[in-house]
Structure 1
Amino acid sequence: MTAAATAVATPPAKINIGKLALTSLAASSIEWYDFFIYGTAAALVFPKLFFAADLPPAVAQLAAFSTFAVGFIARPVGGVIFGHFGDRVGRKKALVTALLMMGLATTGVGLLPGYASLGVLSPLLLILLRFIQGLAVGGQWGGAVLIAIENAPPKQRGFYGSFAQMGVPAGVVLGNAIFLIMGATVPPDSFLAWAWRVPFLLSILLVLLALYIQLKLEDTADFQAAQALAAKKHEDEAAALAAESGVSLAQAKAKIRASQGSPILKVLAKNPKEIALAAGAFVAANGTFYLMITYAVAYATGTLHVPKTSILWVVVVASCLSAPVLPITAWISDRVGRRGVFMAGAALAAVWCVWPFFHLLDTASFPLMLLAIAGGLIFNSTMYGCQAALMTELFSTEFRYSGASLGYQIGAILGGGFAPLIATALFDKYHTSSAVAVYMVILCLTSLVSVFLLAETHGKEHRAAMG
């Protein structure tokens, strides 16, 4: 029996799905922590530190949010690179590489001198490091999600996929908590001078997690089975080609390997509609999320003159309140379907954004600001909880990492990448939060229509590698 056939025939080892789900949560949490602390720093620190002192405050804030957007521009690029890598050599290796990149880039931000020391080189290096962050997070999501979903029981993919999604509120809480601790324990001048760097330097822990995953975890059951099937098919094709053309078996195998197409090109050719609609589905969850955790911080401190610690506590508590919604709604989607749950979240988010959100936020009252952001994040989580299963179930194992990552990251750049920048510009032009509310509603309606046009993926078996 050939090695490939043996691999196909060998029963898979028993999977500890709980351990894998927690690893997925840890990887996602720390990765998003790194990505999110940049947004908080862009709202509170970067306008003063990395740009010329004579810039008007509004211009400096726009410049800081522009560097924030660079990470989103890089995310689809990261999705393409890591998608190809993850579909070719494995989910685990792609995830480990993404975690290492993120940890080192974020640490680099924490070590970067400001404009007063380096001049224009300082914001240029900041943009470069943010771009590397974007590449890393573009590859991380697919790996973290697939480690859980491709090992999960078929009827629990939504629930276990939500563990990677829970990394988002966990990252928000961790990031804002460390900024709150720094703000409470050091004077404002010291915070601006050095304490803001501590959250970035702590990201070196991500390197340790990457090493743990590399040493302790196997690749997903779906990927290993798909690789075995593909290897058997290619071996049979090589034997047939060698017999027909008279070349050696090694030459035939090399010719077949050279003829294999890129997973990205394959998924673009086979599933263009699914990629486009997956991207559209994500713009609301991503865009409204960043408006609530990043733009709202800058809006509350700069326009409403709310103390920095108050709005950060609002974001932390609201994230804690919304986090349980992710596994609950994902569990519900395992039973009634992904589309209905997702569309309910998009519709409720649109209603919340169109009137209560800014009316509550504009009171500058802690309880009402908490209600505004908690309500928005709860409806956001209703969409986001089942999104991992919805997106990955659209694509076959052969190019699932590529397809899901591409749809997710294109949606991220269209939804969240420019959201704080657009909101800042809208408010600066119209001088009313109503303009931002209309923008948020448009994002929600875009996702509602996109998911309506998608086929239901709930209950669909994962297809084999060559399916």
Structure 2
Amino acid sequence: MSTPPSGAGFTPTGTIASSADRRRVVFATVVGTTVEWYDFFIYAFAAGLVFAELFFAPAGEGFAQILSFITVGISFLFRPLGAFLAGHFGDKYGRKVVLMWTLILMGAATTLVGLLPTYAAIGIAAPILLILLRVLQGISAGGEWGGAVLMAVEHAPKARRGIFGASPQVGVPIGLLLASAVMALVALPGDEWFKEWGWRIPFLLSVVLILVGYYVRRRVEESPVFAELAERKEKAQMPIVQLFKKHTLLVIIAALVFAGNNAVGYMTTGGYIQRYATDPEGPVALATAPVLWAVTGSAVTWLIATFIAGWISDRIGRRTTYIIGWILQLAGVFLLFPLVNTANVGLLFLGLAVLTIGLGFTYGPQAALYSELFPASIRFSGVSISYAIGAIVGGAFAPTIAQALVQATGSTVSVTWYLAGMTIVGLIATLLLRDRSGIPLGPDHEEEQAKSPIYGLSHA
């Protein structure tokens, strides 16, 4: 009797996963990634809006803001550690257990930030503790994405991996929407209230969100691909060693694909636009709440574009969808600052909305693209580490670089060219990869999965 196609919505015994199981997986990945990225983004927003004054004021006004943005980037340096740990344990013990622990770690770190005394209260210990908690967030974020992606894509029917894979991806713009909306609400009483107490509320609300996310994820079954690997006792003993022994170049190229998206996305998710547009000494000098509402609105367009891109990638392929996305993203990059610099909230929103359409098209297909690049036995390690490296090269210090460029040149033109350059890097990396949409994902097809998807290398 023929073997059913593994990893395409089939369980280890060959029975098709029910639609109810699939809906539960999609819901759990959306909720879990939303909670994780809500936590991650509220830190970035606070770093752009209040942390310079509350934790780094002795460094001086200009340098304090750079230090505040550096703490956003520092967490990215620890994402590879989270990715290595999650990849190792995820390929050995399963996707589900890793997702539970990353959620708990992120929530605990976020809540503690909300309780942290400022520099005025405890001196140098305040920024040190802040950085340590941000490091824990980075470790959690590094492990979260790969597990969420594989739970979604490995449960999906072969012809619908793009749309299923978009479920953890839309958790990012939903997390941005939620974080921006909560920040905007607590900023309504005024900037003084926000700096004194209001900024803490979004961090403390994380406790409730973590409980919801934990409950939802507990009810999800393990990935069918990992369950089949476990049943056959074919799990990799040292998955990270095998990954870098055979697929180092692929990891680098995949990382650059994400870097092109991440550097541009972190203009808002990293808090830079929020800071730039609300700086009372800057050229825009808008009030905090309207800017946060504009970012909230752009999160909606990002969400819609991400979902559409995942759906389209099932019809025209991941590679073609990405190429369209890079073109749209480049157009958005050149429109962004001219619209923001009008100091009109409506035009600021328009600039962000246009940008997020391109961001959605270069993010929606990523889960399916990454999952189809790596063999089943090392897939968690491959997608997690590629993602973590891409985050460092792309978004880690994008807000810091933007802040330094503006301070050095007195203009946002330099930032535009930096973002355009990163977009082109992403496009080139995409062009180097073959489209592997629909490739079997299960352990029966490891030999086919191990063939290089990079143009110019042996594909035989």
Are the equivalent residues in 2 in contact too, given 1:12–1:221 (CA < 8 A)? Answer: no
Distance 1:202 1:364 in 2: 32
Which residue of structure 1 aligns with residue 115 of structure 2? 111
Which residue of structure 2 aligns with residue 254 of structure 1? none
Correspondence 1:23 to 2:3: no
Correspondence 1:281 to 2:286: no
Aligned positions of 1:217-296 closer than 5 A: 217-229=220-232, 231=233, 261-293=237-269, 294-296=271-273
Change (3 A) 1:424 1:344: same
> Which of 324, 329, 342 pairs up with 2:322?
342
Gaps of 5+ in 2: 1-10, 448-460
Letter in 2 for 1:442: G
Letter in 2 for 1:152: A
Tell which deviates more after alignment, 55-64 or 274-283. Answer: 55-64
1:80-132, Cα deviation, whole Å (9 max, x unpaired) = 11111111101000000100000000011011100011111110110000000
Q: CA deviation at 1:341?
A: 0.8
Which residue of structure 1 aligns with residue 370 of structure 2? 391
Tell which deviates more after alignment, 293-302 or 162-171. Answer: 293-302
Distance 2:213 2:337 in 1: 40
Which residue of structure 1 aligns with residue 140 of structure 2? 136
Letter in 2 for 1:23: A
Are the equivalent residues in 1 in contact too, given 2:95–2:222 (CA < 8 A)? Answer: yes
1:107-165, Cα deviation, whole Å (9 max, x unpaired) = 11011100011111110110000000000011111111111111010110010110100
Tell which deviates more after alignment, 428-437 or 319-328. Answer: 319-328
Q: CA deviation at 1:390?
A: 0.4
Q: CA deviation at 1:206?
A: 4.2
Letter in 1 for 2:302: S
Aligned positions of 1:323-338 closer than 5 A: 323-338=303-318
Which residue of structure 2 aligns with residue 250 of structure 1? none
Tell which deviates more after alignment, 33-42 or 454-463. Answer: 454-463
Are the equivalent residues in 1 in contact too, given 2:12–2:224 (CA < 8 A)? Answer: no
Distance 1:148 1:295 in 2: 31
1:23-66, Cα deviation, whole Å (9 max, x unpaired) = 100000010000000010001110111123x4332111101001
Are the equivalent residues in 2 in contact too, given 1:99–1:206 (CA < 8 A)? Answer: no
SS of the residue aligned with 2:386? Answer: helix
Aligned positions of 1:68-79 closer than 5 A: 68-79=72-83
Letter in 2 for 1:341: T
Distance 2:436 2:205 in 1: 39
CA-based RMSD of the aligned residues comes to 1.7
Distance 1:409 1:211 in 2: 23
Change (3 A) 1:8 1:290: closer
Which residue of structure 2 aligns with residue 300 of structure 1? 277
Letter in 2 for 1:401: F
Aligned positions of 1:375-414 closer than 5 A: 375-414=354-393
Are the equivalent residues in 1 in contact too, given 2:187–2:193 (CA < 8 A)? Answer: no
1:407-428, Cα deviation, whole Å (9 max, x unpaired) = 1110001100000000000111
Q: Over alpha carbons, which structure has the higher Rg?
A: 1
Distance 2:339 2:192 in 1: 32
Are the equivalent residues in 2 in contact too, given 1:325–1:382 (CA < 8 A)? Answer: yes
1:441-463, Cα deviation, whole Å (9 max, x unpaired) = 01000000001001212121114
Letter in 2 for 1:83: G
Distance 2:230 2:52 in 1: 49
SS of the residue aligned with 1:67? Answer: helix
Distance 1:352 1:188 in 2: 30
Distance 2:50 2:43 in 1: 10
Correspondence 1:212 to 2:215: yes
Which residue of structure 2 aligns with residue 51 of structure 1? 56
Are the equivalent residues in 2 in contact too, given 1:103–1:205 (CA < 8 A)? Answer: no
Runs of 4+ in 1 over 6 A off after TM superposition: none
Are the equivalent residues in 1 in contact too, given 2:328–2:357 (CA < 8 A)? Answer: no
* Structure with the larger helix share: 1
Give the number of equivalent residue pairs: 431
Change (3 A) 1:300 1:396: same
Distance 1:10 1:318 in 2: 43
Distance 2:14 2:416 in 1: 56
Correspondence 1:192 to 2:195: yes
Gaps of 5+ in 1: 1-6, 235-259
Are the equivalent residues in 2 in contact too, given 1:31–1:206 (CA < 8 A)? Answer: no
SS of the residue aligned with 2:374? Answer: coil
Q: CA deviation at 1:308?
A: 0.9
Q: CA deviation at 1:430?
A: 0.7
TM-score, structure 1 length as denominator? 0.89
TM-score, structure 2 length as denominator? 0.90
Change (3 A) 1:13 1:332: closer
SS of the residue aligned with 2:41? Answer: helix
Aligned positions of 1:427-438 closer than 5 A: 427-438=406-417
Are the equivalent residues in 2 in contact too, given 1:100–1:206 (CA < 8 A)? Answer: no
Change (3 A) 1:13 1:456: closer
Distance 1:458 1:218 in 2: 25
Change (3 A) 1:337 1:10: closer
Letter in 1 for 2:379: R
Which residue of structure 1 aligns with residue 353 of structure 2? 374
Are the equivalent residues in 1 in contact too, given 2:257–2:425 (CA < 8 A)? Answer: yes
Change (3 A) 1:220 1:380: same
Distance 2:214 2:175 in 1: 20
Change (3 A) 1:348 1:153: same
Which residue of structure 2 aligns with residue 422 of structure 1? 401
Are the equivalent residues in 1 in contact too, given 2:24–2:220 (CA < 8 A)? Answer: no
SS of the residue aligned with 1:324? Answer: helix
